[in-house]
Amino acid sequence: MGILSHMADLLARWRGSRGLPFALLFKKFKSILERNNRILELMADMGDKLGGEYVFDRQYIVDACEQLDDHVFKLISDMSVLGQRKNVELFLAFERIQHQLQEEIAGRHHFEGGRLVLPFRDIGPDAEDEVGGKLAQLGDLSNRLHLRTPDGFAITTAAFFTFMTRNGLLALAQQGMQDWDGTDKGLRELSELMQRGIHDAPLPWGLVAQIDAMVDVLGMRRKQPLRLALRSSAWGEDGDASFAGQYATELNVPPDRVVEAYKNVIASVYSVEAWRYRLDRGFRETEVAMAVGCQLMAHSRASGVLYTCALHAGDNCEAMVVSAAWGGGAAVVGGETATDTFLLERTPPYRIIIREIAHKARRMVPAPKGDMTWEDVPPDMQDAPCLTDAQLEQLARAGMSLERYHKRPQDVEWTFDAEGELHVLQSRPLCTTAEAGLCVPVQDATSRAEVILSGRGMVAQRGVAVGRVVLVDHATDLDAFPDGGILVSKYTSPRYARVMRRAQGIITDVGSPTGHMATIAREQRVPAVVNTEVATELLRDGEEITLDATQNVVYRGRIAELDRFERTETDVFEESYEYRLLRRLLKRISPLNLVDPHADDFKPRACRTYHDITRYIHEKAVETLVDLSQRHEALHHAPARRLLDGPPLGLTVIDAGGGTECLPEEAGLVTGQVCSVPLRAFLDGLTESGMWDTAPVPVDLGSFMSSFTRTFSASQAGPREVGRNLAVVLREYMNVNMRLGYHFNIIDAYIGSTINDNYIHFRFLGGVTELVRRSRRARFVAEVLERFDFRVEVHGDLVVGRIKKLSEPRMLLRMRMLGGLVGYARQLDARMHSDEQVADHVRTFMEAISNVVATHHDDPTKRTGGGHAVTTAHSGT
C-alpha cells in the first residue's frame, strides 16, 4: 500500500466534530497550504516582470490574473469546506477585487475613494491615474528627486469624470466621435459643441467646496495676495506623447476665478488641435481624462527653458541649452522675447561652453487683477546676464537628474524666484527630430572597448551609466559622494538610497535583485547590477567606466554612443501601456494590509487585495483545524493534545494514528510521548540546539526605511507570543504550521525506512519588520538550507526548501537541523541590521548546530565551505 493511501486510511478513522471525515478536512487543509504557496509565487513572478528584464504582453497579464482569480476562489471554497461556513464576506471581498482587476484590464478605471482634490505633497508614486502624467511627474520630482516645485493641489481625474459624467458630456464626446464624418468641419462643430457644453455646465457643488477649501489653505500661508497657475495634466500627457502646447494654461489666477479657469483648461481637451493630436496618435476616446494642477505663482526673477541635450550646431558634440529671460517664463516658451542663451557641458562641473547675452528690454509680470502683462526692464539689467554661473550649475544638475530619471533628454521649464530659489515648473520628454542614437553604430563602439566585467551577477535595474567609479563601504561618508559617480560596493545597502539621486549607477559584489536597495534603484531608475562577486576587486576608485545594465557589461572608459543609444531608445519600457497596466493591477493584488492577526481589522471585510485574502485564510485554516480537534475532545477519541514541555511553542498535536503514545484520558503530552518520527526529531533539534531564545528583541521602527515600505504602527509591531500552532502527525508523517514571533514556518514531511517515500518541504515566510530585514533573514534561511542540500527558491521574503529521497538517518539529521533553524530564525529579522550579518549568522548557526547533527558522517557542518550561492527562482521554469 502506498503511503498516501495508507495515510488516507489512517486519517479516515478520525472523524471531525460534525461528521466530516478528518481525511477530507485534512486534505482541504493541505490543499489550502499548497494554493497559498502557489498564489504567493504567482504574485512574486508578476512583481519580477516589472524589473525590465522580461518581455511580456497583455496576454500574459490576462493569463496571470485569471490564474490568480482561480486560485483565490478555490482557496475560499476549500476554506468553506474546512470551516463548514459559507464565508460570504470572503467571497464578497474576492468579487470586489476580481471586479476591479477586470475593469482595469478592460480599460475602465476604478477610483477607490475617488478623491476630487489632492494636495501636491500627498501625490505618491503611481498616482498617474489620479492626477495625470504631468502632475505625477511633478510629484516625483519633489518627493523622489527632491527638486523644488511650486506648492499647490491637484483637481483629480476623478473630479473630471464626476463633472463630465453628471452633465452627460463624456457620453456626448464618445457619441460625437462615433458619428463623426471624418471631416475638419465636423470636428470643429463637435469641438464647439463640447466646449460650450463645458462652459455652460455647473460644477458639482461638492467639488467647488473642496476647491475653495484648498485655495483657502494655500492663501493662509502667504502674505501677498494669492495668485495661482492652472496647468493641464492629462492621461498620456508627457508619456510617449508630449502634447506640448496642446492644452491651456491659466496664469496669475485670483482665488475667485479658479473655477472659471478650471473650466477653461478642461475645455481645451476638446479644442480642434488637441483632438486632432490625440486622433493622430491613436488615443481612444475612453482614454481621455484630465486632472488640473493649481500651483502657487512663483515670483519669477528670471525664467526659461532648459534642453538637457541638443546637438551643438556645427560639430557633433552634445550640450545642454538654457534659454532665459527676466520675469515670467511664458514669454520664453512662446518665443515672444529676446533671451540669453547658454551652452553647458553635460558632465560635472557643467562648464559653460557658450554664453550669449541678449538685449532684454521688457519682461512678463503678473498683472494686478490677474493674467500677465509686459513691463520695461530697468536699464541696468537690460544687457546683464539673467543667470549667475552658480545658478547655471544648479540648473544643469537638476536637468541631468531629471534626464537620468526619465531616461531621455528633458525639456524643463524653470524659474528662479526673487530669493534666488530654483523651481521646476514642469519637465517633459524632449522630442528631438533626429533619433541620433539609433544611427550610432553601437556595436562598433563596444567591440573596440575593453570589457572589465561581463555577465557577472544580476541586473536589478536596466539602463546605461557613464561615470567615475566611487568605491564605497560602510565607513564611507555618503554626504561626500560626488555628483555623477558610479557607486561600487561590496554589499547592497538601503543606506545608498541617500546618494541615488547623485549616482549614475550602482554595482555590488553581493546582493539580490529582489533586495530592498534594488527596489529603490528601480524606483529611482538608477541602472544597477548586483551580485557580481568581483566588482570591488576589478574596478579602481576614480577610473571612468561605462556600465551597460541592459547587456550586463562594464567597459573601461566612456562609451558615449551607448549612453546616447539608451537615451534615444524609442520606447522606455516603464512608459508602455502593459507595464502601467501590470503595475496598476499589482496594487490590487500584492500589498498586505492584514498583517496582525490580533488586530481588530483582521477581518474578511478588511481584505483589499488577494494577498490579504490569502493571508487571512492561512491564519484561519490553522485555527480551524485546532478548534475542530479541541471540540473533538468532548468526544471519545481525544487525539488532540497540547505539548506541555520544551520551548513554549503553543503546539497542539493531532494524532491521526500512531504518532503519540498517550492514555486516552490525558489532556496534554510531553516530548517523550511523541513517537512520530519526524516530529520527534524536529522537537529534539529545537530543544537540544538551545537556540530558543525567549527574550524578545525590540524592533527598531524608527529606521528610515520603514517609510519606503508599508509602515507598521507600534501596536502591530510588538513581538507577539506564539500563535495557535498545530502539528498533525502519523508515525512517519508530520505537517506542522507554526507562527513564531515574526514569521510562519510550514513543514510537511514523511520520514520512514523507504528511501523513495521520504521528503521534507519547508516553507518560511512573513514577518513584521521592513522588507530589507525580512529579505536578509530569508537569505540567511536559504543559505543554511542549501548547505544541507535542500533545493531552495527565494521569492522576496518567501523561502521554499525541498529535499527528498534520502535515507532515514540523513532525513532525521536535517529535521533536527530544522528544529534548530526555526528556533534561531525566530526573531532574527529584528537583528539583521546589515547585509554583512547574513554571512555572520550563517557561520554562527552552522557552528551552533554542529553538536546537534554531528552524530552522522554526512554532517554538512563539517564540509569545507564555498559555492553556496542562493538562487532566485523565476516563473515559468
Partner 1 sequence: MPSRLRILVLDDEPIVCKRLKPAFQKAGYEVETCTDSATALQRIAEAPFDVVVTDLKMEGADGLQVVERTHQIQPQARIVVITGFATLDTAKESFRKGAFDFVAKPFKLGDILDCVRRIEAELREGAERGDADGGAGKDTSS
**Residue 846, all three cell numbers:** 552552522
Q: What residues pair up with 465 in beta bridges, in sequence order?
A: 547
Q: Rounded to an integer, what distance in angstroms lies between the CA atom of residue 873 and that of residue 796? A: 10
372-376/362-366 β-pairing: antiparallel
Give the shortest CB-583-to-partner 1 separation in angstroms. Answer: 14
Nearer to partner 1, 73 or 573 (CB): 573
Give the shortest CB-435-to-partner 1 separation in angstroms. Answer: 11
Q: Rounded to an integer, what distance in angstroms lies between the CA atom of residue 86 and that of residue 71? A: 18
Q: Scanning the structure block, which residue is given the C-alpha cell 504557496?
A: 37
Cα torsion 801, 805, 806, 807 to 10°: value is 140
Site map for partner 1, 383-422, x if CB under 8 A?
----------------------------------------
Q: Is 200 in the site for partner 1 (CB under 8 A)?
A: no
Q: Is 875 in the site for partner 1 (CB under 8 A)?
A: yes
Q: Which residues lie below 8 Å from residue 821, measured CB to CB, with a gap of 6+?
A: 781, 784, 785, 845, 849
Give the shortest CB-53-to-partner 1 separation in angstroms. Answer: 5
Contact with partner 1 (CB under 8 A) among 57, 200, 315, 450: 57
Q: Scanning the structure block, which residue is given the C-alpha cell 533671451?
A: 339
Nearer to partner 1, 466 or 503 (CB): 466
Q: Shortest CA distance to 342 belongs to which of 384, 402, 379, 385?
A: 385
Q: Rounded to an integer, what distance in angstroms lies between the CA atom of residue 485 and that of residue 348? A: 10
Contact with partner 1 (CB under 8 A) among 442, 736, 782, 792: 442
Nearer to partner 1, 66 or 757 (CB): 66
CA distances 64 to 48, 126, 616, 627, Å, are 13, 21, 22, 35
Contact with partner 1 (CB under 8 A) among 178, 316, 443, 707: 443
Nearer to partner 1, 577 or 704 (CB): 577
Nearer to partner 1, 3 or 440 (CB): 440
CA distances 155 to 161, 212, 293, 426, Å, are 11, 11, 6, 17
Q: How many amino acids of this chain bind partner 1 (CB under 8 A)?
A: 26
Contact with partner 1 (CB under 8 A) among 113, 314, 702, 876: 876
Q: Is 871 in the site for partner 1 (CB under 8 A)?
A: no
Q: Is the dihedral of CA 24, 729, 797, 793 positive or negative?
A: negative
* Residues numbered 578-597 forming contacts with partner 1, rule: CB under 8 A: 578
Q: Rounded to an integer, what distance in angstroms lies between the CA atom of residue 851 and that of residue 855? A: 8
Stretch that binds partner 1, among 47-55, 129-137, 272-280, 522-530 (CB under 8 A): 47-55
Give the shortest CB-56-to-partner 1 separation in angstroms. Answer: 4
Contact with partner 1 (CB under 8 A) among 9, 63, 216, 847: 63
Nearer to partner 1, 286 or 576 (CB): 576
* Residues numbered 549-578 forming contacts with partner 1, rule: CB under 8 A: 550-552, 565, 569-571, 573, 576-578
Give the shortest CB-627-to-partner 1 separation in angstroms. Answer: 42
Cα torsion 391, 397, 398, 401 to 10°: value is 180
Nearer to partner 1, 345 or 569 (CB): 569
Contact with partner 1 (CB under 8 A) among 1, 55, 220, 695: 55
Q: Is 54 in the site for partner 1 (CB under 8 A)?
A: yes
* Residues numbered 125-154 forming contacts with partner 1, rule: CB under 8 A: none
- Cα three-residue angle 209-211-216, rounded to 5 degrees: 95
Alpha helices, H only, 475-559: 516-524, 535-538
Give the shortest CB-357-to-partner 1 separation in angstroms. Answer: 41
Q: Is 323 in the site for partner 1 (CB under 8 A)?
A: no
Give the shortest CB-845-to-partner 1 separation in angstroms. Answer: 34
Q: Rounded to an integer, what distance in angstroms lies between the CA atom of residue 261 and that of residue 858? A: 78
Contact with partner 1 (CB under 8 A) among 49, 406, 739, 763: 49
Contact with partner 1 (CB under 8 A) among 41, 53, 371, 389: 53
- DSSP state string for 801-831: EEEES--HHHHHHHHHHHHHHHHHHTTGGGT
Give the shortest CB-282-to-partner 1 separation in angstroms. Answer: 10
Buried b (16+ CB within 10 A) or exposed e, 36-49: bbebbbbbbbbbbb
Q: Rounded to an integer, what distance in angstroms lies between the CA atom of residue 529 and that of residue 484? A: 17
Nearer to partner 1, 573 or 708 (CB): 573
Interacting residue ranges for partner 1, rule: CB under 8 A? 49, 53-60, 63, 438, 442-443, 550-552, 565, 569-571, 573, 576-578, 875-876
